[in-house]
Amino acid sequence: MTRPYLTKVVMTVTPVLAAPAEPLTNAGNTQLIIAALLGIAAVVLLIAWGKVHPFLSLILGAAVLGVVAGVTPDKIVTSFSSGVGSTVGGVGLLIALGAMIGGLLAESGGADSIVERVVARVSGGALPWAMAGVAALIGLPLFFEVGVVLLVPIVLLVSRRVDVPLMKIGIPALAGLSVLHGLVPPHPGPLVAIDALGANLGQTLALGLLVAIPTVIIAGPVFGNFISRYVTATAPEALLPTRRPLAVAGRSGAAGDTRPTTPGRGPVDADGDLVTEDDLVNPGAGRPGEPIDEENRPRRAPALWAAVITVLLPVVLMLLRAIGELTLAEDTGGRKALDIVGTPIVALLAGVIFAMIFLGYRTGFSRTQVSGFLGGSLPAIAGILLIVAAGGGFKQVLVDAGVGNLVADAAKDASLSPLLLGWLVAVGIRVATGSATVATITAAGIVSPLAATLQGPEVALLALAVGCGSLFFSHVNDAGFWLVKEYFGLTVGQTIKSWSVMETIISVVGFAGVMLLDLVV
């Protein structure tokens, strides 16, 4: 029986780029394969060898793919623009709102207080495990991109504060988010697979958690400890959630500021320490008699609870919505209210408003300052927005050209185990299109007739096998690839060695866990 709320979850929680009923070209299978390979190769070569900006490289790669596949130029432009629009409308807005939350956490000192508490309570060796656990917990109601924009700024600051290699704690956090995204309801991918296959939600959730725990451990702390020796990540300074020096903020040399400066560093205090924005909004601290104006008045340090609630409020609202979708009738007032407040954009907007009040106005910042913090958080992520959007456009050209259908058709007549077939089909579509959700939807539809021949727990395992396959080897046609690359300041090669390999480990280890469970259920 089809559950209407499942379809609603997919359409409202994450942008889905589904294959069209009719591809935009009549090219044969060989031509489509060559087109996909050349398009991907063009993106990689333009970035790695030609040093072309990823945004332009993705546009040119999509053009190469479309031309070789026989798609007319006007349809290439339309398809690419459609992918860009859907990605910006979904992921782009979330990144912008997440950046605003990060900006207020940074400028108020809230991020510093969270990091100080984490560092004080967790030793260096336990940090990767703690990050994996926190990411998995927070990522339960979130899809991947939301988790990234909420957690990665904290990960960057923790790495800087305790001098731990960024990959050592970044990979565990990413693994925790990714595993939950692919295997555990109420994420849209698993929900779609459950609905298409007729699996039991409770069984899939329980078995998914059993598979997720060892998968997060192996792909997170274990692999993160290994890859940190070979991939050195340096987070872009503009993305670090910490108050900037005056030289960066453009405030050095302000009227009335007579503190000495050093070349390339900006003003320093009597002890030679670099003066930050915090010094200007606390001008009376340790400097009796220094003039105070409206913009530079003393302020209170934000309470730790305010910073924690700022991060968790969007998570809680989305989790409440997911619970409502599973427990409340669709036409009830409570369900409708949760559907609205738990929409990712609304939930993150609530987080921004909460931060404006409790990290901004209540701590002594003026309305002008709070507005400046919000606006100042956006330029740093402008490049990320464009690259992620272009990744969505490249993906859409792949889908519209019929590459996803090609993989699906090739698997229909294969004589394989239902679990292996579901995993392989999802792997092929994931690698071809870059979308985990499209891979899950298509693969679940292909193997759904086989579900009727399986017993209850085996149907749940089939849904998990499809979910594992949908996470296999994220590369240049996946918007998540570019999101990770830019947030962690990696090259394309470093992103493949770390992020892409991590995704592959999740897929393979997760599927191995599914096959082991199949022996005992």
Residue 330 lies in a domain: no
Residue 130 lies in a domain: yes
pLDDT for position 4 = 37
Residues 6+ apart with CB under 8 A from 479: 87, 91, 145, 388, 389, 391, 392, 395, 434
pLDDT tens-digit readout, 320-362: 887 887 788 888 888 899 989 988 788 889 999 999 999 999 9
Domain count, the chain: 1
pLDDT tens-digit readout, 23-73: 677 788 889 889 888 988 888 788 778 888 888 988 998 999 999 999 999
Residue 292 lies in a domain: no
pLDDT tens-digit readout, 437-470: 768 866 776 777 778 778 878 999 999 999 999 9
pLDDT for position 196 = 76
What share of the chain has pLDDT > 70, as a percent?
78
Mean of the per-residue pLDDT values of the chain: 77
pLDDT for position 505 = 97
pLDDT for position 161 = 78
Q: Global pTM? A: 0.65
Residue 486 lies in a domain: yes
pLDDT for position 442 = 67
User: Binning pLDDT at 50, 70 and 90, where does residue 2 land?
Assistant: very low
| 521 vs 513: CA distance, rounded Å | 12
| 179 vs 36: CA distance, rounded Å | 27
pLDDT for position 81 = 93
pLDDT for position 476 = 85
| 232 vs 167: CA distance, rounded Å | 7
Residue 309 lies in a domain: no
Radius of gyration of the chain (CA): 24
User: Binning pLDDT at 50, 70 and 90, where does residue 391 land?
Assistant: confident
pLDDT tens-digit readout, 279-331: 444 433 333 343 444 444 446 778 888 888 887 888 788 778 878 877 888 88
Return the structure tokens found at 131. 């990050």
Residue 18 lies in a domain: no
pLDDT for position 241 = 64
| 137 vs 417: CA distance, rounded Å | 33
pLDDT of residue 82 exceeding 50, the answer is: yes
pLDDT for position 138 = 67
| 106 vs 142: CA distance, rounded Å | 22
pLDDT of residue 7 exceeding 70, the answer is: no
Burial class (CB in 10 A: 0-12, 13-18, 19+), 303: middle
Domain that holds residue 67: 29-239+367-519
Residue 455 lies in a domain: yes
Compute φ and ψ for 440, nearest 5 degrees: -65, -45
pLDDT of residue 75 exceeding 50, the answer is: yes
User: Binning pLDDT at 50, 70 and 90, where does residue 146 land?
Assistant: low
| 161 vs 163: CA distance, rounded Å | 6
pLDDT of residue 508 exceeding 80, the answer is: yes
Residue 258 lies in a domain: no
